[in-house]
Structure 1
Amino acid sequence: MTENANVDAQTHPDEGPVLLEWRDDGVALVHLNRPESANGMDLELLRALHAVLMRVHGDGRIRAVLITGEGKNFCAGGDVHTFLSKGEALPDYIRVVTSTLQAVASLMIRLNPPVVTAVQGYAAGGGGMGLVCSSDFVVAAASAKFLAGATRVAMVPDAGVSVTLTQLVGLRKATEILMLNPVIGATEALSMGLVSRVVADDRLHDEALALAQQLAQGAPAALANTKRLLWSGVGKSVEQAMPEENHAQAMLSGTADAREGLAAVIEKRAPRFTGR
């Protein structure tokens, strides 16, 4: 537990896919807690994350939110093992998973308290990149890496990334990231505007928490309204883009190429797409 944390056992269970820690200083710590799967997102984790964020949303004592991932990686995206196991039922599962992820991203954007995300290891796929792009501040460890990855498994970006990433890094760079799937190091991510700060690996938690604490000491209404103005200034709203993403994702997840892409990730090989 973090020093000086005020922990309620009812809101911070000892186990589960997402843990919530309430602190006396007004910071809520949200921990993704599937380290054995690199915090890969399945429906259970996403529903738990949405429920935790709703609890934060309904508590006026919370002045800032810090999202972290347990283990070596922040979030490796969707749980490809779960996805591939669904077989022909994958489109129905993806439709619900994508909708839930979109609800999480939208809630992060609409929370009154600013959201700080701390990234170690990989932030990949719609889950990892989606949370990064929906955060107000992102602190990355020096060794952190970022990967879009959706088209690599014959799918499309989701969580509003087709809008938020473009807003952060520009159309040309977003096109390169989403279509070519380069692995982006922390320094490059900082230079393009994908993250806010890069810190030494062993300083990640302390630096991210210090930033959240600094925000928690600010004027809540002023920060909340500034955040709202910034996000509403995006030309096309994230909510307008999300239904299109959801439809395309569910449709593509039913293709042979999507199943091949998921299998290739698990088997650590290059995919062989056939256009089916």
Structure 2
Amino acid sequence: MSDPVLLDITDDGIARIRLNRPEAANGLDATLLRALNDAVLSCHGDPRTRVVVLSGEGPNFCAGGDVKTFASKGEGLPDYLREATAWLQIATASLLRLKAPVVTGVHGFAAGGGGLGLVCASDLVVAARSARIFSGAARVGMAPDGGTSVTLTQIVGARKAMELLLLNPTLTADEALAIGLVNEVVDDDQLDKRLLALAGELAAMAPLALAATKRLVWAGLGATIEERLGEEARVVSELSGTADAREGLAAVIERRAPAFEGR
């Protein structure tokens, strides 16, 4: 089996982290999330790292949690999600604490607390025109995680965050740009080129100044985010034991509309 996360660090200071489960739309399971955190820690510990570029292999950036893995756990899902969400918390916090700026490239779907959460935990985001971004948690009887109950609100404002989290609209790249969720939109065939150009520009700048700037910006909400990460994990684990959550997962796999019963 190939590694679920790939990491390359070049001598010019650019670290590339790539989610590598393309056959599952880079869906997040506990193994990938643990590997993602390991990759971020490797970047933190490597003195060459001046900027981190985060992207996904295959047609999608990240389709959120791996619903097939979740559904396979049956009644053991709450315990499994406690582990998975713990690693998601750790990986999200690691990205936020990382001294180097994180530039994320989004193509295809960025969904759920995983996909959207990684977008919101990044410092700069470039979207390909193919990008489609949505929360999706409420669609399957779950609650937002990955820090999005805080970070999304800070990025787009409370009213828009409520709309995105409650109604779960699927945003195009241009719609995401219009509300400030991403920094810019490029043609799909230009995404990698633009990511590397932006990374090169950042890598040439003063790393201590960039680290201080990043820390100052996130400090306004960092403590609150980390407090909320634990609460998000508790709520997600609790909801995963409900019939509505099982119905939501089954509906996604069977490609049908869910029938929620409030239990």
Retained in 2: the 8 A contact 1:118–1:140? yes
Aligned length: 263
Q: What letter is aligned with 1:85?
A: S
Q: Please name the residue that 2:96 is paired with.
A: 109
AA aligned to 2:118 is: L
Matches within 5 A, 1:190-229: 190-229=177-216
- Matched with 2:115 is 128
Q: What is aligned with 1:57?
A: 44
The match for 1:184 is 171
Q: Is the 8 A contact 2:89 2:230 kept in 1?
A: no
1:164 paired with 2:151, answer yes
Counterparts of residues 1-276 of structure 1 (less than 5 Å):
15-234=2-221, 237-276=224-263
Q: In structure 2, the residue corresponding to 1:237 is in which secondary structure?
A: helix
Distance in 1, Cα, partners of 2:222 & 2:77: 33
Identity %: 60
Give 1:236 shift. Answer: 5.9
- Letter of the 2:174 partner, please give it: T
TM-score, structure 2 normalization: 0.98
Higher helix proportion: 2
What is the one-letter code of the residue matched to 1:81? K
- The unaligned stretches of length 5 or more in structure 1 are 1-13
Q: Are the counterparts in 1 of residues 12 and 48 from structure 2 also a CA contact under 8 Å? A: no
1:157-205 CA-to-partner distances (Å, cap 9, x unmatched) read 1111000000000000000000000000000100101001100111001
How far apart, in 1, do the equivalents of 2:222 and 2:173 lie? 27
**Equivalent in the alignment of 1:11:** none
RMSD between aligned residues = 1.0
**Residues 163 and 236 in structure 1, CA contact (< 8 A), matched pair in contact too:** no
SS at match of 2:221: coil
TM-score between the two structures when normalised by the length of structure 1: 0.94
Q: CA deviation at 1:22?
A: 1.3
Name the SS of the counterpart of 1:140 in structure 2: strand
Q: Distance in 1 between matches of 2:251 and 2:134?
A: 16
Distance 1:61 1:237 in 2: 31
SS in 2 for 1:73: coil
Per-residue CA deviation, residues 61-84 of structure 1 (Å, 9 max, x unaligned), is: 100000110000000000000000
Give me the whole-angstrom Cα distance separating, in 1, the residues matched to 2:10 and 2:193: 15
